[in-house]
Amino acid sequence: MLDNELLAKLNEDDRQRLAPHMMVFELDRKAILQPAGEEVVNTWFPCGSSLASFQLGSEDGEGAVEVALIGREGAIGGIVSNGSLPAYANAVVRVGGSFFRLKTAALEQAKLDSLTLRHWFSRYSDCLIAQIFQTSACNATHTIMQRAAKWLLAAMARTRQPQVAITQEQLAETLGVGRTFVARVIRQLRDEGIISTSRGAITIINRSALQAKACRCTELIENHYDVVLHGIYPRDP
């Protein structure tokens, strides 16, 4: 099923349960997968280098803070909520590409028909919640440099590309900090030869040096995925 690790690791019977209900969409950046407050009627599986994220709007309505980044290791939608329940956060495409769409009703029926499928997606829900927990702790305790480096490395691992399509303004919004703070971080990383910047993109030149700037949050998340869903979480290329 294209290049989504969560689906690729299913057994053949469970893949066949889902396959007739799957549709492939090519989505552009900023496409809304799931609006906050509306019923979750679809589940989306990013494939290949596609990225999406859960975002919470700010109180002034002028920005959105990212609470989880989802790539080929996961899914967005009814896989977590277990039914057509209201979505708490917006789900937005960060890097465009291929996405599988599965109706939540079809997923729920497949989970009723297969205990292994139900357990598999419950384990993914646990991993996603762990990621959100770790992100919350990271936002509260780590520097903007550490968080920015962590985010860039996570995006690189998921897309398998050293170039990340994001502006400094978008990175600041993602991290929930002022643009001037991110501008200082980017300038320092660029001056140290760790990254380069171009219009609308940041390119990682020295991954090991960037890793030295990052916090250990991604490593902790990787370790949890390895215990609960071994081989799912994307590693650095």
What does 67-80 look like in DSSP terms, one character per residue?
EEEE-TT--EEHHH
Helix axes 115-141, 144-159, angle to 10 degrees: 150
Query: CB-based contacts of 184: which residues, under 8 Å, 6+ apart?
Result: none
pLDDT of residue 9: 92
Structure tokens at 196: 């380069």
- Can you tell me which residue has the tokens 């598999």? 120
Question: Where would I find the H helices in the chain?
Answer: 5-8, 12-18, 78-81, 104-113, 115-141, 144-159, 168-175, 179-191, 207-213, 217-228
Instruction: Give the residue ranges of the chain where pLDDT is below 70.
Output: 1-2, 58-63, 79-84, 236-237
pLDDT of residue 14: 95
pLDDT of residue 237: 52
pLDDT of residue 234: 78
Alpha carbon distance 4, 75 (integer Å): 9
Per the CB < 8 A criterion, the answer to whether 54 and 80 are in contact is: no
Cα 233 from chain centroid? 11
Alpha carbon distance 129, 215 (integer Å): 19
pLDDT of residue 16: 93
pLDDT of residue 10: 93
What's the Cα-to-Cα distance from 183 to each of 147, 148, 162, 163, 177, rounded to whole Å? 14, 11, 20, 18, 11
Nearest to 79 by CA among 50, 30, 46, 32: 46
